[in-house]
Each structure stands twice: as C-alpha cells, then as structure tokens.
A = this chain, B = another copy of it.
C-alpha cells in the first residue's frame, strides 16, 4: 500500500509504502530535516508538524512539550507513515541555506599569503610543452621513446616513465595531429615520472586544479587556474552527510551499517562533484582540464571520502586506517574530472587530528617561528596545536557539538534566524539580541551561546557552576519542562511561535564544551612544562572561530585570559592550506613534514586532561586567578548581582 505525503512549505510530494519511516520519507522527497543523531531518535531535532493524516510514533514525547504535542508535532525519525499525510517541516527543523558559508577566497590575498609562507607556483603536476623531432628512417625510435627523450631534454628524469595505457593509445595520434608539438601533463612521484595526458600543440595554459575543504558540516571548493594561481571561482554547500548524523562519531556509526559507508562516500563525492561542475560551467572550464585536487578534512571525513571504513577511529586505541592517504585518481571516486586526475589529501596526524589541522598549521606558520604559539580549530572538536619550529604537539578535545547547536534546546548553526549576539540588561534582565538575517529568531548559534553564557554569568543570572539563580525575580527565569530556564525571546518575538530559552541542561552542555577546550590548551602546555605566559600568539581557525567575541570567550573561560592582541583569527585554514599545497609542491611536502612532526596526545585517556577539565567546569574557572581580567571585571562590580 502506498501513501502520498505532501511536505510543506515546499509542497513536495512523495509516494511511500505503508509504515515507511517519516525521516526516510523526508530524504526520499529530496528534502532536509535537521538531525544530530542521524535518525536514531536520540537528538529530538527532526521535529515536523503533522497537518493531516495518521502516523504511528514512539518516544516522540520525551523531546516534545505538551503544547507541541498538542499542535501535531512529532519526531520524524520515530514516526511511521500510516496514511496519506500533509507534513510541515517547521523553520526550526529546516536547514537555512540563505546564510552563505563564507569561502574566504580573495585571490590576491591568498596568493600573497601563500608566497609569504614560502610558496611559489610549482605544482606537483606540470604541463610541459615539447617540440619533438619528427621521426626519420635514421631516427626511428618509438613514439613513447621520443617523448621520453624530449622530457629528458626538458630536464625531467624520464628514466622511470609511466603512463596509463589510455594515454599511450592516444599518443601516436596526438603526436601526429600536433605535428610533433605537444604538451605533456606530467606528475612526479619519487623517481617515477607519469605522463597523465598528452595534448596536441601548446596546452600549457588551460590547466585547472581544485582545493577542497571537507568539513563535517560544510564543504568548500576553490577552482584554481593552475597557470597563475588565481581562484577562478568558489562554491560551498552543507555537507549532505549531515542527514546521516551531525558529528563524526554518528557518521562512523552510520558507516558501519549496511551500505552506510558507500552512501556517505557518495554524498561527499556528489557534493564536491556538483560544485565542481557548477564552477566549471560558470567559468567556462572544461571539467577534463581539472587534473589535480587537494582535499583537506578531518581524519574521518578523509576516510569517508575515500570510502575507507573508519570504524576503528571510534574504538580504543583509536586507530585510523591511514593518516597519509595514497594518491587516487579522479575516476576511482567517480568525480567527473580528468580520469587520471590526481587526488591528494592533506596528511592526517591521528584519528582526531586530521588533514584540516595540518593545513591549518601550514597556514598559521607556527611551525616556522621561534616563539611558541597555540593554534586551535574550533568546530565540533577543538583541535589544538602547540609548538614552534622545533616541535609540535597536538590534541583533540572532544568539546562536542554544543556550539554547533547540538544538545542545546534551541541550538542551531550560524544561519538565518540564529541569535548571534546577546546582551542582558543588568537591572531588568531584559534581553537584547541580534539575529542573523535580521529576522525573527528560530534559535541560537554558537557565538550567541557564548554571549548568553557570558552575559548571564556577569549579570548574575547564573552562578559559577552555571546554575540559574531561581531566587531572582524575573519572569525570564522560570521552571520549564527540563528544569530552570532563561527566556531569551518571547513567543511573539520568535519565528517558531514559542519562547526561545536557555535551559540549565543547555548551560551544563555549554560549560562542558568550553571546559574541554580550555583543558585542551592547559594539558598541552603542562605537558610541555609551559604556561599561557609562554605563548606568543593564539591562532583561531574554523568557521565558528571567526564569529567568536574573544573577550566574551575569555569571560566564560573558553579561551585563556591573554591580551586580546595575542589572538588572531585565520579563517578557514583548511581550504587555505589545501590551496597552498595544490599550487606549491614544496608547501605540500612541508605539510607532510608538519604532520610527521606533530606528536599526538590522546586526551581521552589523559589523567592530566581530566584534572584540567574538572577544574574548568566553572565560570570562568575554578582558579579565578588564572583569569585576572574576568576577576577584575567582576570586582569592578559591573552590575554584579549579589543576593547575599
């Protein structure tokens, strides 16, 4: 028996079998519904409203308020279709695409930075124009031997020459078509020189590459003109794997399920392929001219992109299948680019410090400096690197996806409708907030959470442990379904027709997240017998990083209390590092050296980390002396609520 389901507001219809899971039906309709757990009934994000028809649902209640239940809300992933349906996907469950992911591409700036980092336009793949002597009866060596000789003459050691037999099969024709003037696309790997392709005439100019950042949440692509290093165009998209889970752990679990690995791989490849096609078409580039791709991602993302089982990443002792991935070809993963295109992935360090971090260090240049610096990429995990030109240590503190909205009642990503700034009036506890896109709010994003936490703390709404002071007389402080909560936005102000609140559970999750980050810094430092005073710079990378208000982050004890001028935002260093490595083989090699040099410290089994973490589960920290600025701010009595 088939049922017709109409999804609003898109008005998309799909026919499904009786008892089909509604979450799968959303996917089948080509639509998205938010989900952190990948459809396992654990996150309560995939709320939909049943407007008409019948479902069977379990467990929904625990995530829904009585009022929501009364209004027809249900969790898609625990609901079975039992009749024809009309289903609304409400704003808070939708992926808002209007807030464009910043790609950060500025050709002149990127090129300048790359050159500043010691780079140049010398890629691993070269186009060599060859004028080959025409064969005669006295000089009758084979076509391939002529190419070899010409390459030798051009300064390439063609002793170990390799080429795919498809290239060999076109060689006789191309040589004669080009009247013995041809362009070889060559790739070096150790002593082996591979001719990737051969073109008649001078084809040295029309060569393109792509840098790709495969983030857990977003994927960014730069299409690059390899002849001059210019970024021809950029594109970005949410990683479609998100529908199989929000974070790497959920995806690893998904990958181990039947066909899950293939599905996840296909999703990433399709995302990248679609962006490449779009960019190529838009900028009039033949996809076959794209013959080099450098990918940066965390270790799990790289495994999934290659279709390699990441299962062991998740289980102690946390072993990835590979950290240095072998080169693969465009056709192996099914990208519609040059079939022999080389795909290189930035080297990973360990299961939870990936190629994106190697790329980040390359961009930060901390590995070239005398003074010791810190680097952090704040995302789902906070990956931290400490070091200088002599040594590098690294760790991943599993901050969890709280700042990305997961586990936070009204948490969401930084997109349209997200509260991104919060101010609380010290006297009235009234809330001023700013919403991305200047619309009515749907929820709150990471920077908004940091703001809210800082403001609530400084204004005494919460105590050092993050507990809401129930004794405060304010209608914004109230007891909700999951305990005490603070109302950020009243129902009439919100786009979701209900109060947007921060609960004590949310606060607890946020404090755990910030504590993990701080403890990561502190553990690495103590591991090296250093303190924050020894740090010259703290580089912050990552999409979320760019929106952080450093002072607020210090207030809550997420970032160390150092002078603000010691913090530097680097933007998306993952894509930047991939871009560097794409254009300059020396920098690619440098990235490998960086990865080899980094000593990975597994925090999950570190006694020292646990201690640091416990101490950091306070605002800003158990040891307030470590946060003199915050202490001063508090002492200044800046509207400090003292109930005593």
Interface residues of A (CB under 8 A from B): 135-137, 140-145, 159-165, 168-169, 171-173, 189-192, 306-309, 311-312, 316-328, 332, 348, 350-351, 600, 602, 605
Closest to A306 in B: B165
Contact among B144, B326, B351 for A324, CB-based, below 8 A = B144
Q: Which residues of B contact A162 (CB under 8 A)?
A: 189, 326-327
Copies of this chain, tallied across the complex:
2
Closest to A195 in B: B326
- Contact yes or no, A321 B600, CB < 8 A: no
19 A-B contacts (beta carbon < 8 Å): A137-B602, A137-B605, A140-B350, A141-B323, A142-B322, A142-B323, A142-B350, A144-B323, A145-B322, A145-B323, A162-B189, A163-B326, A165-B326, A168-B325, A169-B308, A173-B309, A190-B190, A190-B192, A192-B192
Closest to A605 in B: B137
Min CB distance A313 to B, Å, is 10
Q: Which residues of B contact A318 (CB under 8 A)?
A: 137, 140
- Contact yes or no, A143 B319, CB < 8 A: yes
Min CB distance A316 to B, Å, is 7
Q: Which residues of B contact A602 (CB under 8 A)?
A: 137, 140
- Contact yes or no, B326 A190, CB < 8 A: no
Given A190-B192, A192-B190, also A306-B600 (CB < 8 A): no
The 9 A-B residue pairs with the shortest CB-CB distance, nearest first, are: A190-B191, A144-B322, A160-B190, A142-B323, A137-B317, A142-B320, A191-B191, A172-B321, A135-B319
Q: Which residues of B contact A163 (CB under 8 A)?
A: 326
Min CB distance A644 to B, Å, is 46
Min CB distance A499 to B, Å, is 46
Min CB distance A1 to B, Å, is 39
- Contact yes or no, B172 A140, CB < 8 A: no
- Contact yes or no, B168 A322, CB < 8 A: yes
Interchain CA distance A160-B592 in the complex, whole Å: 12
Min CB distance A594 to B, Å, is 15
Interchain CA distance A326-B195 in the complex, whole Å: 11
Min CB distance A260 to B, Å, is 14
- Contact yes or no, B144 A321, CB < 8 A: yes
Interchain CA distance A173-B308 in the complex, whole Å: 11
Min CB distance A246 to B, Å, is 24
Interchain CA distance A101-B609 in the complex, whole Å: 76
Closest to A327 in B: B162
- Contact yes or no, B161 A326, CB < 8 A: yes
Q: Which residues of B contact A161 (CB under 8 A)?
A: 326
Given A140-B317, A191-B192, A312-B143, also A165-B328 (CB < 8 A): yes
Q: Which residues of B contact A320 (CB under 8 A)?
A: 142-143
Given A143-B322, A320-B142, also A172-B312 (CB < 8 A): yes
Q: Which residues of B contact A348 (CB under 8 A)?
A: 142
Min CB distance A360 to B, Å, is 19
- Contact yes or no, B169 A309, CB < 8 A: yes
Min CB distance A370 to B, Å, is 29
Q: Which residues of B contact A307 (CB under 8 A)?
A: 165, 169
Interchain CA distance A165-B307 in the complex, whole Å: 8
Contact among B143, B145, B192 for A189, CB-based, below 8 A = B192
Q: Which residues of B contact A135 (CB under 8 A)?
A: 317, 319
Q: Which residues of B contact A317 (CB under 8 A)?
A: 135-137, 140
- Contact yes or no, B192 A321, CB < 8 A: no
Min CB distance A158 to B, Å, is 11
Closest to A161 in B: B326
Closest to A299 in B: B142
Interchain CA distance A142-B320 in the complex, whole Å: 5
Interchain CA distance A163-B326 in the complex, whole Å: 6
Interchain CA distance A316-B137 in the complex, whole Å: 7
Interchain CA distance A173-B605 in the complex, whole Å: 25
Min CB distance A507 to B, Å, is 32
Interchain CA distance A516-B602 in the complex, whole Å: 78
Closest to A145 in B: B323
Interchain CA distance A318-B316 in the complex, whole Å: 64
Min CB distance A598 to B, Å, is 12
Interchain CA distance A332-B340 in the complex, whole Å: 14
Interchain CA distance A67-B454 in the complex, whole Å: 112
Interchain CA distance A312-B169 in the complex, whole Å: 12
- Contact yes or no, A306 B144, CB < 8 A: no
Interchain CA distance A306-B167 in the complex, whole Å: 12
Interface centre among A141, A168, A318 (most CB of B within 10 A): A168
Q: Which residues of B contact A309 (CB under 8 A)?
A: 169, 172-173
Closest to A319 in B: B135
Interface centre among A192, A319, A321 (most CB of B within 10 A): A319
